[in-house]
Structure 1
Amino acid sequence: MAGAIVSDVLEQLISIIAMETNQQVRLVVGVKKEIKKLTSNFQAIQAVLLDAERRGLKEMAARDWLDKLKSASYDMDDVLDEWNTAILKKKVCLFLPSPGFCFKQVGLRRDIALKIKRINKNIDSIAREKDMFNIDTSRSIEEPPRIKSTSFVDVSVVIGRDKEKNYLKNKLLHESNEDKKGVHIISIVGMGGMGKTTLAQLVYNDGEVKSNFDKRIWVCVSDPFDEVRIAKAIIEGLTDSVSNFTELESLLKHIHESVTKTKFLLVLDDVWTKEDNKWEPLYNSLNNGLHGSKILVTTRKSTIAGMMESIDIINIEELSKDGSWLLFKRLAFFDRPQQECEKLENIGREIVGKCKGLPLALKTVGSLLRFKKTREQWQRILDNEIWKLEEFEKGLFPPLLLSYNDLPSMIKRCFSYCAVFPKDYEMAKDELIQLWMAQGYLGLKQNQELEIVGEEYFDMLAMCSFFQDFKKDDGDNIIKCKMHDIVHDFAQFLAKNECFMMGTGSDEESSYSFENARHLKMTLEDEQASFPTNLCSIFKIRSLIVRWKYNDSSSISNCLSNLFKQLTSLRALKLDEVFGENLITKIPSEIGKLVHLRYLNMFSLRGIKELPETLCELYNLQTLNMSFCSKLEKLPDGMGKLINLRHLINNGTFALSCMPKGIERLVFLRTLSKLVVGGDGHNSQVFSLDCLKKLDYLRGSLEIRGMGNVIDGAEAKNANLWSKKYLLHLKLYFDYKSEASSTEVSAKDEAVLEALHPPPNLEKLVLMGYRGITMSFDWMAPLTQLRKLTLEDCINCEHLPPLGKLPLLQTLEIRGMRGLKRVGNEFLGIKNNDSSSSSSSLTFFPKLNHLILHKLENWEDWEYEITEDFAIMPCLSYCNIVNCPKLKALPNHFLQATSLERLNIVSSPVLKQWAIYHHIPITSIPRRLFRQLTI
Structure 2
Amino acid sequence: MAEYFVFDIAESLLRKLASSVYEEASRAYHVYEDVQGIKDTLSIVKGVLLDAEEKREQKHGLREWLRQIQNVCLDAEDILDGFEYQNLRKQVVKASGSTRMKVGHFFSSSNSLLFRFRMAHQIKYIRHRLDKIAADGNKFGLQRIDVDHRLVQRREMTYSYVDASGVIGREKDREEIIKLLMQPLPHGDGDGDRSLCVIPIVGIGGLGKTTLAKLVFNDKRMDDFFQLKMWVCISDDFDIRQLIIKIINSASASAPIIFLAHHENINNLDIEQLQSRLRYTLSCQKYLLVLDDIWNDDRAKWIELKDFLKVGAVGSKILVTTRSSSIASMMGTVPSYILEGLSMENCLSLFVKWAFKEGEENEYPNLVEIGKEIVKKCRGVPLAVRTLGSSLFLNYDLERWKFIRDHEIWNLQQKKDDILPALKLSYDQMPSHLRHCFAYFSLFPKDFGFAGLEISSLWVALGLLGPPVGSQKLRNIARQYIDELHSRSFLEDFEDFGHIYYFKVHDLVHDLASYVAKEEHLLVNSTQNIPKQVRHLSVGETDSLSHALFFKSRSVRTILFPIVGMGVDNEALLVTWITRYKYLRILDLSDSSFETLPNSIAKLKHLRALTLENNCKIKRLPDSIRKLQNLQLLSLRGCVELETLPKGLGMLISLQHLHITTKQSILSEDEFASLCSLQSLIFEYCDNLKFLFRWAQLTSLQVLHVQSCGSLESLPLHILPKLEVLLVIRCEMLNLSWNYESQIQRLRMKFLHVENCPRQQRLPHWIEGATDTLQTLLILNCDSLKLLPEWLTRMSHLKMLHIVNCPQLLFLPSGMHRLTALEDLSIDGCPELCRKCEPQSGEYWSFISHIKRLSIGETREGHLLFRLQSRMRLKLRD
Instruction: Using structure 2 for the length normalisation, give the TM-score.
Output: 0.81
In structure 2, the CA distance between the partners of 1:436 and 1:801, relative to structure 1 (3 Å rule), is closer
Question: Partners in 2 of 1:773 and 1:2 — Cα distance?
Answer: 57
Question: Partners in 1 of 2:404 and 2:790 — Cα distance?
Answer: 64
Provide Cα deviations, 1:791-813, integer angstroms capped at 9, x if missing partner.
Answer: 9799xx9x989646644595679
Question: Partners in 2 of 1:782 and 1:391 — Cα distance?
Answer: 55
- 2:236 — aligned with what? 223
In structure 2, the CA distance between the partners of 1:657 and 1:523, relative to structure 1 (3 Å rule), is farther
Deviation at 1:193, TM superposition (A): 1.7
- 2:27 — aligned with what? 26
- 2:609 — aligned with what? 599
Question: Partners in 2 of 1:852 and 1:348 — Cα distance?
Answer: 44
The reply to whether residue 167 of structure 1 matches residue 176 of structure 2 is yes
- 1:76 — aligned with what? 76
Deviation at 1:718, TM superposition (A): 5.4
CA contact (8 A) 1:78 1:569 kept: yes
In structure 2, the CA distance between the partners of 1:457 and 1:751, relative to structure 1 (3 Å rule), is closer
Most deviating of 481-490 and 442-451: 442-451
Deviation at 1:167, TM superposition (A): 1.1
The reply to whether residue 189 of structure 1 matches residue 211 of structure 2 is no
- Quick one: higher RCO (CA 8 Å, sep 6+), 1 or 2? 2
SS at match of 2:234: strand
Output aligned runs, 1:276-287, within 5 Å.
Answer: 276-287=299-310
Question: Aligned letter for 1:690?
Answer: W
Deviation at 1:219, TM superposition (A): 0.8
Question: Partners in 2 of 1:812 and 1:225 — Cα distance?
Answer: 46
- 1:586 — aligned with what? 596
* Match for residue 696 of structure 2 among 684, 691, 709: 691
Deviation at 1:344, TM superposition (A): 3.0
CA contact (8 A) 2:827 2:834 kept: no
The reply to whether residue 727 of structure 1 matches residue 725 of structure 2 is yes
In structure 2, the CA distance between the partners of 1:788 and 1:429, relative to structure 1 (3 Å rule), is closer
- 1:211 — aligned with what? 224
* Match for residue 622 of structure 1 among 625, 632, 643: 632
Larger Rg: 1
- 1:463 — aligned with what? 487
Deviation at 1:265, TM superposition (A): 0.4
Output aligned runs, 1:708-719, within 5 Å.
Answer: 719=719
Provide Cα deviations, 1:125-148, integer angstroms capped at 9, x if missing partner.
Answer: 222222344444489967535301
Provide Cα deviations, 1:850-882, integer angstroms capped at 9, x if missing partner.
Answer: 59899xxxxxxxxxxxxxxxxx9999539xxxx
Provide Cα deviations, 1:551-589, integer angstroms capped at 9, x if missing partner.
Answer: 998x52222232222221111121133xxxx73333222
Deviation at 1:442, TM superposition (A): 0.7
- 1:542 — aligned with what? 557
Question: Partners in 1 of 2:723 and 2:587 — Cα distance?
Answer: 31
The reply to whether residue 198 of structure 1 matches residue 208 of structure 2 is no
Question: Partners in 2 of 1:91 and 1:48 — Cα distance?
Answer: 39
Provide Cα deviations, 1:612-653, integer angstroms capped at 9, x if missing partner.
Answer: 222222211222222233333432232212222222234xx3
Question: Aligned letter for 2:102?
Answer: P
- 1:484 — aligned with what? 506
Output aligned runs, 1:235-254, within 5 Å.
Answer: 235-239=248-252, 240=259, 241=263, 243=266, 246-254=269-277
Question: Aligned letter for 2:523?
Answer: M
Question: Aligned letter for 1:186?
Answer: I
Question: Partners in 2 of 1:771 and 1:364 — Cα distance?
Answer: 59
In structure 2, the CA distance between the partners of 1:445 and 1:34, relative to structure 1 (3 Å rule), is farther
* Match for residue 102 of structure 2 among 99, 102, 106: 99
Deviation at 1:674, TM superposition (A): 3.1
Deviation at 1:749, TM superposition (A): 8.1
In structure 2, the CA distance between the partners of 1:731 and 1:668, relative to structure 1 (3 Å rule), is farther
CA contact (8 A) 1:876 1:900 kept: no
In structure 2, the CA distance between the partners of 1:828 and 1:224, relative to structure 1 (3 Å rule), is closer
Most deviating of 214-223 and 5-14: 5-14
Deviation at 1:321, TM superposition (A): 1.8
Question: Partners in 2 of 1:164 and 1:702 — Cα distance?
Answer: 46
Question: Partners in 2 of 1:587 and 1:532 — Cα distance?
Answer: 20
- 1:10 — aligned with what? 14
- 2:874 — aligned with what? none
In structure 2, the CA distance between the partners of 1:60 and 1:314, relative to structure 1 (3 Å rule), is farther
Deviation at 1:210, TM superposition (A): 1.7
SS at match of 1:223: coil
In structure 2, the CA distance between the partners of 1:599 and 1:231, relative to structure 1 (3 Å rule), is same
Provide Cα deviations, 1:721-743, integer angstroms capped at 9, x if missing partner.
Answer: 4x32633556796958xxxxxxx
The reply to whether residue 406 of structure 1 matches residue 406 of structure 2 is no
Deviation at 1:288, TM superposition (A): 2.8
* Match for residue 365 of structure 1 among 381, 385, 388: 388
* Match for residue 126 of structure 1 among 109, 113, 133: 133
In structure 2, the CA distance between the partners of 1:199 and 1:494, relative to structure 1 (3 Å rule), is same
In structure 2, the CA distance between the partners of 1:593 and 1:341, relative to structure 1 (3 Å rule), is same
Deviation at 1:379, TM superposition (A): 3.8
Question: Aligned letter for 2:445?
Answer: P
Deviation at 1:257, TM superposition (A): 4.0
SS at match of 2:200: strand
Instruction: Using structure 1 for the length normalisation, give the TM-score.
Output: 0.76
Question: Aligned letter for 1:757?
Answer: Q
* Match for residue 582 of structure 2 among 545, 568, 572: 568
CA contact (8 A) 1:780 1:802 kept: no
The reply to whether residue 877 of structure 1 matches residue 837 of structure 2 is yes
In structure 2, the CA distance between the partners of 1:340 and 1:708, relative to structure 1 (3 Å rule), is closer
Deviation at 1:115, TM superposition (A): 1.1
Question: Aligned letter for 1:99?
Answer: K
Deviation at 1:678, TM superposition (A): 13
CA contact (8 A) 1:169 1:203 kept: yes
- 1:496 — aligned with what? 518
Give 5+ residue unaligned stretches, structure 2. Answer: 253-258, 849-856, 858-862, 867-878
Question: Partners in 1 of 2:564 and 2:759 — Cα distance?
Answer: 47
CA contact (8 A) 2:613 2:639 kept: yes
Provide Cα deviations, 1:222-256, integer angstroms capped at 9, x if missing partner.
Answer: 23101111112222334545546734344334433
Question: Partners in 2 of 1:759 and 1:334 — Cα distance?
Answer: 69
- 1:667 — aligned with what? 676
- 1:431 — aligned with what? 454
- 1:861 — aligned with what? none
CA contact (8 A) 1:716 1:755 kept: no
Q: Percent identity?
A: 29
State the superposition RMSD in angstroms. Answer: 4.5
Most deviating of 299-308 and 664-673: 664-673
- 2:325 — aligned with what? 302
Paired residues, what number? 813
The reply to whether residue 631 of structure 1 matches residue 627 of structure 2 is no
CA contact (8 A) 1:701 1:728 kept: yes
CA contact (8 A) 1:679 1:709 kept: no
SS at match of 2:302: helix
Provide Cα deviations, 1:357-416, integer angstroms capped at 9, x if missing partner.
Answer: 222222233333225453344344334432233335774333323222221111111111
* Match for residue 608 of structure 1 among 618, 626, 634: 618
Question: Aligned letter for 1:877?
Answer: C
Deviation at 1:297, TM superposition (A): 0.4
In structure 2, the CA distance between the partners of 1:573 and 1:717, relative to structure 1 (3 Å rule), is closer
- 1:559 — aligned with what? 573
In structure 2, the CA distance between the partners of 1:192 and 1:58, relative to structure 1 (3 Å rule), is farther
In structure 2, the CA distance between the partners of 1:69 and 1:771, relative to structure 1 (3 Å rule), is closer
Question: Partners in 1 of 2:483 and 2:760 — Cα distance?
Answer: 45
In structure 2, the CA distance between the partners of 1:776 and 1:158, relative to structure 1 (3 Å rule), is closer
Deviation at 1:543, TM superposition (A): 1.0
Deviation at 1:190, TM superposition (A): 1.4
